[in-house]
Structure 1
Amino acid sequence: MKKFTIMPLIILLNFSLHAQVSGVGIDTSNPQQKLHIASPTGTIRVDGLNSPNNPYNGGGVDKTYPLYVDYNGDLTLKTSAYQNSDGGDAYSTAAINGTVAIIPVVQADDGYETVEITSYNFTVARNTILEIKYSISVEVFQDNLLTIIKDAYARNITNFFTIDTPTLLATTRRYAPSSKCYFNRNDIVSNPAALPDAATGYIYNSGTTYIPLTPGSHTLRFYGTVCSGTNNRATYVRFAGGPDAIFLRLY
């Protein structure tokens, strides 16, 4: 005589029917999504994302890594960037406007000048967040002959981004501003022939920001400014002469 186990079959049919209708529930009979884990301590483990199996997982029992969703909807640890210098020099082409100068008499006596260094264009089909990280080198001189500054006046050098502003206005929002103050006091009054007495090389401005973008086309502009005060002291700033970095990502 054959025995039939009816209860497990009923449970399996009920589970299959319920899964087809609304979703799969773990520790719940009323799943609210296609997969619903109701346990307050429940987690999900994907072996394909762990350290032994995934080259983008850096390992370490006390470390975590961001998880992303790619174009196909697959979970991945790999990041994809719109622009990523990735260890190379981000601003090394002839298209980069790398200088800004204050020239007494020729320019307005306000001690302030600005230049658009470069720009990036985006077209997005949905509301998007743009992530920006940058590091740009700065050199400060008195003129385009690269004369070392010897006066007693400080110079403020700033970098920042704007979005969708064809001209820079005082009211324009400035994203990721970063500034350095250059100062080299040399006794030029009593000893004009004194040695430069200043360190040469690169200083850096670095910044990070997130900008919300609406559907459509957008232009991101990167600026550099120099200020020598109302005395309009001669200043020449060279941007991007050294190794620079840029990282842009759309979410």
Structure 2
Amino acid sequence: KGPSIGGRMAQLDKTFPTNDCAMCILSPKLVETGSHPYINIITNAELLNLEGHAPYFTATIMKRPRYINEEKCTGCGICMTKCPVKIPDEYNKNLSTISCIRIPFPQAVPALPLIDKEHCLFHQRGRCRLCEKFCEMDAIDYEQKEETIELNVGSVILAIGSEEFDASLKDEYGYKAFPNVLTSIEYERYLSASGPTKGHIIRPSDEKEPKKIAFIQCVGSRDMQAGAEYCSAV
């Protein structure tokens, strides 16, 4: 669904049981997938419909615009350095900011930027166009539209991924009410060398090192009122 592959693991710092860097494990797989001659990656898209039966499935996919010509773009990143607009960085769980035209994270596959239409000065006010001016490959396409793609496939792998629980639904833990209460993914981004603090753990309230840290596991699991009725299996 997102503009790059990698999913939740791309946001992790290290993984159990070897304590290896998550991206050190993941990145070679992303590159291998991106360069495989028999794999066609469709990012920034979602499945609208799937019908038929094996081996005659028809998948209807809606691909959202990047406002970038993927055939022309080399991923050089010049456009990102020229963009004057900063927006919350979703990859870093909004703990830092990033350019309105951006590549989601350093090892992203495909390594192509996209423009956030809701914050782009040209899309919202009809001015700026700096990314277009400085793009040597003429890859900026403000007029790009949603695209519907139909694929005929012989088999389908169901890999729906995961969705993070909204911790603000559990008032007793003070998430959003107290700045030093974090979700596990937010904590992972603080731990990561590519995160908003380059791997230094700080308290968001005063940016000082914490003296104590408490972990509350499985918030939202086996909770039919606010979360999921099943165990998270973490």
> TM-score scaled by structure 1?
0.20
Higher RCO (CA < 8 A, seq sep 6+): 1
Higher helix content, 1 or 2: 2
Kindly name which structure, 1 or 2, has the bigger radius of gyration based on alpha carbons: 1
Higher strand content, 1 or 2: 1
